[in-house]
A = this chain, B = another copy of it.
Protein backbone atom coordinates (compact mmCIF):
# COMPACT_ATOMS: atom_id res chain seq x y z
CA UNK A 1 0.00 0.00 0.00
CA UNK A 2 1.38 3.43 -1.00
CA UNK A 3 0.33 6.34 1.19
CA UNK A 4 1.34 9.76 -0.20
CA UNK A 5 0.46 12.84 1.83
CA UNK A 6 1.22 16.45 2.60
CA UNK A 7 1.31 17.56 6.24
CA UNK A 8 -0.24 20.83 7.31
CA UNK A 9 1.93 23.24 9.30
CA UNK A 10 1.67 22.79 12.21
CA UNK A 11 0.45 19.20 12.62
CA UNK A 12 0.27 18.89 16.41
CA UNK A 13 0.56 15.38 17.74
CA UNK A 14 1.30 13.89 14.34
CA UNK A 15 4.74 12.40 15.09
CA UNK A 16 3.57 10.62 18.22
CA UNK A 17 0.49 9.28 16.47
CA UNK A 18 2.56 8.12 13.48
CA UNK A 19 4.93 6.23 15.77
CA UNK A 20 1.95 4.66 17.51
CA UNK A 21 0.41 3.59 14.19
CA UNK A 22 3.71 2.05 13.03
CA UNK A 23 3.82 0.05 16.28
CA UNK A 24 0.18 -1.00 15.90
CA UNK A 25 0.71 -2.01 12.27
CA UNK A 26 3.60 -4.26 13.33
CA UNK A 27 1.16 -6.24 15.48
CA UNK A 28 -1.31 -6.91 12.66
CA UNK A 29 -1.57 -10.27 10.92
CA UNK A 30 -0.07 -10.13 7.44
CA UNK A 31 2.15 -7.09 8.09
CA UNK A 32 5.52 -7.50 6.37
CA UNK A 33 7.22 -4.12 6.88
CA UNK A 34 7.26 -0.53 5.72
CA UNK A 35 9.44 2.28 4.35
CA UNK A 36 8.77 5.95 5.00
CA UNK A 37 10.25 9.29 3.95
CA UNK A 38 9.16 12.92 4.27
CA UNK A 39 11.06 15.86 2.82
CA UNK A 40 11.26 19.56 3.65
CA UNK A 41 8.25 20.30 1.44
CA UNK A 42 6.17 18.25 3.96
CA UNK A 43 5.27 15.70 1.28
CA UNK A 44 5.73 12.16 2.57
CA UNK A 45 5.48 8.68 1.16
CA UNK A 46 4.94 5.58 3.26
CA UNK A 47 4.91 2.20 1.59
CA UNK A 48 3.68 -0.66 3.75
CA UNK A 49 3.86 -4.30 2.70
CA UNK A 50 1.22 -6.89 3.50
CA UNK A 51 0.76 -10.56 2.72
CA UNK A 52 -2.69 -10.12 1.16
CA UNK A 53 -5.36 -7.61 0.16
CA UNK A 54 -7.44 -9.01 3.03
CA UNK A 55 -4.78 -8.06 5.59
CA UNK A 56 -4.80 -4.49 4.21
CA UNK A 57 -8.59 -4.37 4.49
CA UNK A 58 -8.44 -5.53 8.11
CA UNK A 59 -5.75 -2.98 8.96
CA UNK A 60 -7.87 -0.19 7.49
CA UNK A 61 -10.70 -1.19 9.87
CA UNK A 62 -8.72 -1.49 13.12
CA UNK A 63 -10.46 0.89 15.55
CA UNK A 64 -7.43 2.88 16.69
CA UNK A 65 -6.34 3.18 13.07
CA UNK A 66 -9.78 4.45 12.04
CA UNK A 67 -9.57 7.10 14.75
CA UNK A 68 -6.12 8.13 13.47
CA UNK A 69 -7.47 8.31 9.91
CA UNK A 70 -10.25 10.67 11.04
CA UNK A 71 -7.80 12.84 12.96
CA UNK A 72 -5.54 12.85 9.91
CA UNK A 73 -8.31 14.30 7.76
CA UNK A 74 -9.36 16.82 10.43
CA UNK A 75 -5.99 18.02 11.68
CA UNK A 76 -2.85 16.69 10.01
CA UNK A 77 -3.07 16.29 6.26
CA UNK A 78 -3.69 18.87 3.54
CA UNK A 79 -4.31 15.92 1.25
CA UNK A 80 -3.44 12.25 0.97
CA UNK A 81 -3.68 9.54 -1.59
CA UNK A 82 -3.84 5.81 -1.00
CA UNK A 83 -2.92 3.32 -3.68
CA UNK A 84 -3.42 -0.38 -3.16
CA UNK A 85 -0.79 -2.04 -5.32
CA UNK A 86 0.41 -5.55 -6.00
CA UNK A 87 4.15 -6.23 -6.22
CA UNK A 88 4.94 -7.93 -9.54
CA UNK A 89 8.68 -8.31 -9.04
CA UNK A 90 11.55 -6.67 -7.23
CA UNK A 91 15.31 -6.37 -7.35
CA UNK A 92 17.88 -4.58 -5.28
CA UNK A 93 21.40 -3.26 -4.99
CA UNK A 94 23.49 -3.32 -1.80
CA UNK A 95 22.32 -4.15 1.66
CA UNK A 96 19.90 -2.15 3.78
CA UNK A 97 21.35 -1.74 7.28
CA UNK A 98 19.37 -3.47 9.97
CA UNK A 99 16.88 -5.11 7.66
Residues of A within 8 A of B (CB): 2, 4, 6, 35-39, 43-45, 47, 53, 72-73, 77-97
**Copies per complex of this chain:** 2
A4 vs B4: C-alpha distance in the bound complex, in angstroms? 14
Chain A interface secondary structure, helix, strand, loop or mixed?
strand
Assess A79 versus B92: contact at CB under 8 Å? Given A37-B43, A45-B35, A85-B86.
yes
Partner of A44, one of B2, B37, B72: B37
Would you list 13 pairs from A and B whose C-beta atoms are within 8 A, ordered by A residue?
A: A2-B2, A35-B45, A36-B43, A37-B45, A39-B39, A72-B93, A77-B94, A80-B94, A81-B90, A83-B89, A84-B87, A85-B87, A86-B86
